[in-house]
Amino acid sequence: MDDKIETIKDWLGTGSINIFGLPMSGKDTQGIKLAEALNAKFLSSGMIIRAMEDQTKNRYSEHGELIPTNVFYEWVLPYFERSDLFKYPLILSSIGRWQGEEDQVMSVAAGAGHEIKAAIVLNISEADVENRFEAAKTLNDRGDRLDDKDLEIFKTRLKEFREKTAPVLQHYNTLGLLIEVNGNQSRNNVFNEIVEKLFQKASKSHA
């Protein structure tokens, strides 16, 4: 595992890896773990947006819909150019979730020295993420998130993914950047599959 991590680090440099998946698929969990392994910085669009909503009192996402593209550009994209991130690779959690945003995200990231070198999608069914949602509500382990307030809002988030984010993934696939991972397994197994597939991609780039 350590040798594979070092190969990925060498290939990634100060580039970025963007992780996607349905709500509750484990994007942030896996992203944080991958960032720790690669000595990278972790950026979550969801975390950034919720913080900005608290600051500005503009609750764009409380009903489960994606925030407007112009607001996304204003709130999220400046993070790529932060001086404290300059020397680090970035692990991104769903940055650019609305079709059409991905080109601007890739352009800004590359311009800041954080070229997106892979996009990962954690594949899991809507039925399985709904089960995870219900379990999380029972355990109360998601905090007081407005976009997790009830099942209907959560279903809106699933619909947004189908209609707006799925085409983003297809675009990354067309560019040869998409890596598909089985998200419906243990957290350790998901992480191991991510590392293995990133290692394969890194190895091919050096061949």
* pLDDT at 112 (0 to 100): 97
* pLDDT at 62 (0 to 100): 87
3-state helix, strand, coil split of the chain in percent (to 5) is 60, 15, 30
Least reliable range by pLDDT among 3-7, 92-96, 152-156, 181-185 = 152-156
Under the banding of pLDDT at 50, 70 and 90, the label for residue 204 is confident
With a pLDDT cut of 70, the percent of the chain lying above it is: 94
- pLDDT single digits (tens) 8-44: 999 999 999 999 999 999 999 999 999 999 999 999 9
Query: Is the CATH number 3.40.50.720 carried by domain 2-206?
Result: no
- The residues near 121 (Cβ < 8 Å, ≥ 6 apart) are 19, 20, 21, 169, 178, 179, 180, 181
- Residues 141-170 as b/e (b if ≥16 CB within 10 A, e otherwise) read eeeeeebbeeeebbeebbebbeebbeebbe
With a pLDDT cut of 90, the percent of the chain lying above it is: 83
- pLDDT single digits (tens) 161-179: 999 999 999 999 999 999 9
**pTM for this prediction:** 0.92
Least reliable range by pLDDT among 20-24, 48-52, 139-143 = 139-143
